[in-house]
């Protein structure tokens, strides 16, 4: 996210995806419903076995989620710290679908006038909301991260393992997740994340900042844990440069993922030896 007036920002496209889930919750463990962190080792599995099993489960979920359509509701506000009231707001509701070749589609169904003036959004923000806010740590991605066991913790009625996740190396022009993940002990799937997308670009005149976020997951199909709610609140610190004064922008934002519906199955339809799966799903590629 960049300050208004800086070059290279992509406002319209980013708004079309609600791509700024910023601000955040760095102290999720202190929230209501969170039990005390137990730093003892797991009882029946090694940490490595848990991490590898989690990666496999997350890989299966990533594949399954591409068979679901859903509704994405976004609300973002910039906050005037003098009175703690919004001085700009953006809202958008979209139906998210996928084409037969797994390309993401978006049908905007509600988008009142945008009144935010102090920040504009970038292609990086667009990619973050699609790939990193609903964080999924698949088996092929595990080697990219240091995954450190922190302990066990109860969240409401869920018994979870807690891990600290950080990229081992940050390659140029690539984005990663850095923060905490909570993994259900029974299903070995991620049920909560609290962290941020990294790295930030802090070069004077090119700053592109991404404050922390927290995403909650729910079991909506009796098998997989889907991201359903991301909330964020934080202050973006823009340094002085290129003739402009430094600026802090307080932001609140919420994104909700609802109405998950399976629109195709991983099963194949074979008739007389011919795979006709794609032909049978031509009319249900987009959400209605």
Range of 212's domain? 2-284
Which residue has tokens 């018994």? Answer: 159
60 backbone dihedrals φ, ψ, rounded to 5°:
-65, -40
Query: Which stretch of DSSP H or E encloses residue 52?
Result: helix 47-65
3-state secondary structure of 12: helix
pLDDT of residue 245: 65
pLDDT of residue 244: 65
What CA–CA distance (Å, rounded) separates 232 from 124?
Answer: 17
Inform me whether the pLDDT recorded for 69 exceeds 90: yes
Cβ neighbours of 267 (radius 10 Å)? 7
What pTM value is reported for the model?
Answer: 0.78
Which range among 38-47, 147-156, 207-216, 222-231 shows the weakest confidence by mean pLDDT? 207-216
Q: What is the pLDDT of residues 217-239, one digit of tens each?
A: 999 888 999 999 999 888 888 87
Which residue has tokens 């302990």? Answer: 151
What CA–CA distance (Å, rounded) separates 5 from 205?
Answer: 10
What's the number of domains the chain is made of? Answer: 1
DSSP 201: B
Which range among 52-56, 152-156, 259-263 shows the weakest confidence by mean pLDDT? 259-263
pLDDT of residue 52: 97
């Amino acid at each position: 996210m960049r300050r208004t007036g800086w070059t290279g920002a992509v406002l319209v496209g980013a708004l079309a995806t609600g791509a700024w889930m910023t601000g955040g919750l760095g102290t999720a463990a202190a929230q209501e419903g969170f039990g005390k962190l137990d730093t003892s080792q797991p009882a029946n599995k090694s940490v490595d076995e848990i991490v590898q099993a989690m990666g496999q489960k997350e890989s299966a979920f990533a594949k399954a989620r591409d068979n679901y359509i859903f509704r994405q509701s976004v609300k973002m506000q910039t906050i005037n710290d003098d009175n703690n009231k919004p001085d700009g707001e953006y809202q958008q509701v979209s139906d998210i679908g996928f084409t037969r070749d797994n390309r993401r589609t978006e049908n905007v169904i509600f988008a009142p006038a945008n009144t935010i003036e102090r920040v504009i959004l970038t292609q990086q923000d667009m990619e973050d909301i699609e790939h990193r806010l609903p964080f999924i740590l698949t088996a092929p991605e595990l080697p990219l991260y240091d995954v450190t066991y922190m302990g066990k913790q109860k969240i409401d009625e869920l018994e979870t393992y807690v891990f600290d996740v950080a990229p081992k190396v940050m390659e140029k022009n690539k984005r990663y997740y850095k923060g905490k993940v909570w993994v259900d002990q029974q299903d070995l799937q991620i049920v909560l994340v609290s962290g941020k997308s990294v790295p930030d670009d802090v070069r004077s005149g090119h700053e592109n900042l991404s404050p922390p976020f927290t995403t909650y997951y729910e079991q909506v199909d009796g098998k997989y844990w889907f991201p359903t709610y991301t909330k964020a609140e934080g202050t973006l610190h823009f340094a002085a440069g290129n003739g402009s004064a430094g600026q802090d922008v307080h932001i609140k934002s919420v994104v909700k993922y609802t109405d998950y519906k399976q629109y195709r199955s991983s099963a194949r339809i074979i008739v007389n030896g011919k795979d006709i799966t794609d032909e049978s799903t031509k009319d249900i590629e987009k959400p209605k």
